[in-house]
């Protein structure tokens, strides 16, 4: 079982809705990540938080707003999304704040459908 | 730009045979190369990694080979089992960089 927990597992929202994806880990990891994965494609990095501070934003549109309330939690707030934003959103954590070996621990993802 | 890619999008093997999944990379500055396995409906799962100063590393039923001369990475799975069916991604990371770059993925299917 994954030690990174993501909720909800499935989310359907309209383009005018506001929703949030949540991620939680209790492994004491200090780096947390959001990835977006389209069908049959590799995960693409969106955001990285290191020690609860945003360290990387891969030019993600402002309709995606990340938040790291504490070292165990990571949220992704969604507003005014487009149908092309439909994808699997993966959260990951790492014990290394500066990349390390690259071993990330992934959650099972939140599958988002935007109507 | 820099990229990590795979030679074959799909690979079918007989149960019990060995599987070899290949990957080409272009960033010679990468310090670590990692293989992830992603089963249907799940997030990627770490399999094994190799540091750039190594050319071979073995795990349980898996071996990763790194050829820096031709910038090639491979994953060998011994005695492939039905549970090995998944998409396999190679990825690279430069120490100090927090960006893990994934290759395009290879779908491994096991024939009974």
State the average pLDDT for chain B: 89
Mean pLDDT over residues B35-49, rounded?
A: 94
**Sign of the Cα pseudo-torsion (A41, B43, B57, B99, in order):** positive
Average pLDDT, chain A: 92
Q: Tell me what the mean pLDDT of segment A25-40 comes to.
A: 93
Measured between CB atoms, which of A48, A90, A103 is closest to B98? A48
Q: What is the pLDDT of residue B1?
A: 37
Q: Which residues in chain A have their CB less than 8 angstroms from residue B1's CB?
A: none
Confidence (pLDDT) at B99: 80
Residue B100: its pLDDT value, please?
Answer: 85
Pairing state between β A10-13 and A110-114: parallel
Hey, what's the torsion of the CAs at B99, A21, A94, B94, to 10 degrees? 0
Q: In this model, does residue A27 exceed pLDDT 90? A: yes
What pLDDT, on a 0 to 100 scale, did the predictor assign at position A2? 60
**pLDDT recorded at residue A98:** 64
Which chain A residues have a beta carbon less than 8 Å from that of B32? 100-102
A43 and A109 Cβ atoms separated by less than 8 Å: no
Q: What is the mean pLDDT of residues A71-93?
A: 96
Q: Which of B44, B49, B102 sits opposite A101 (nearest CB)?
A: B49
Mutate to test the interface with B, among A101, A105, A109 (most CBs of B within 10 A): A101
Give the tens place of pLDDT for each residue, B1-20.
345 654 458 999 999 999 99
Residue of A nearest to B4 (CA): A42
Mean pLDDT across the stretch A81-107?
87
Of B32, B46, B99, Cβ closest to residue A56: B99
Whether residue B94 and residue A41 make contact (CB cut-off 8 A), yes or no, is: no
Q: Mean pLDDT, to the nearest integer, of A3-9? A: 97
Which residue in chain A has the smallest CA separation from B97? A99
Q: In the prediction, which pLDDT does B2 show? A: 42
Regarding predicted confidence, which is higher, A72 or A2?
A72
Q: A82 CB contacts (<8 Å, ≥6 apart)? A: A15, A63, A114
**What confidence score (pLDDT) does residue B26 get?**
80
Residues of B in contact with A2 (CB under 8 A): 42-43
Give yes or no for B46 touching A (CB within 8 A): yes
Residues B71/B24, Cβ–Cβ less than 8 Å: yes
B76-112 pLDDT, tens digit per residue, is: 999 999 999 999 999 998 766 678 889 889 999 999 8
The residue among A85, A13, A77, A73 whose CA lies nearest residue A44 is A85
Measured in angstroms, the CA of B61 and the nearest CA of chain A are apart by 19
Which of B2, B13, B62, B15 lies closest to B34, judged by CA? Answer: B62
């Amino acid at each position: 079982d994954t030690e990174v927990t993501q909720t909800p597992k499935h989310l359907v929202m309209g383009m005018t809705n506001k929703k949030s994806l949540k991620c939680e880990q209790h492994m004491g990891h200090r780096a947390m990540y959001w990835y977006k994965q389209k069908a049959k494609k590799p995960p693409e990095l969106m955001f990285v938080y290191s020690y609860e501070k945003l360290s990387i934003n891969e030019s993600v549109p402002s309709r995606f707003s990340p938040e790291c309330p504490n070292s165990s939690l990571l949220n992704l707030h969604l507003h005014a999304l487009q149908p092309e934003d439909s994808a699997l959103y993966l959260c990951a954590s790492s014990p290394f704040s500066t990349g390390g070996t690259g071993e990330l621990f992934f959650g099972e993802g939140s599958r988002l459908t935007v109507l | 730009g820099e990229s990590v890619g795979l030679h074959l999008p799909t690979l079918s093997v007989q149960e019990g045979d060995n599987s070899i999944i290949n990957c080409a990379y272009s960033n010679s500055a990468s310090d670590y190369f990692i293989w992830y396995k992603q089963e249907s409906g799940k997030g990627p799962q770490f399999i094994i990694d190799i540091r750039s100063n190594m050319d071979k590393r073995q795990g349980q039923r898996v071996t990763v080979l790194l050829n820096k001369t031709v910038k090639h990475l491979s994953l060998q799975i011994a005695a492939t089992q039905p549970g090995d069916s998944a998409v396999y991604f190679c990825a690279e990371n430069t120490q100090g960089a927090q960006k893990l770059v994934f290759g395009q993925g290879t779908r491994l299917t096991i024939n009974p």
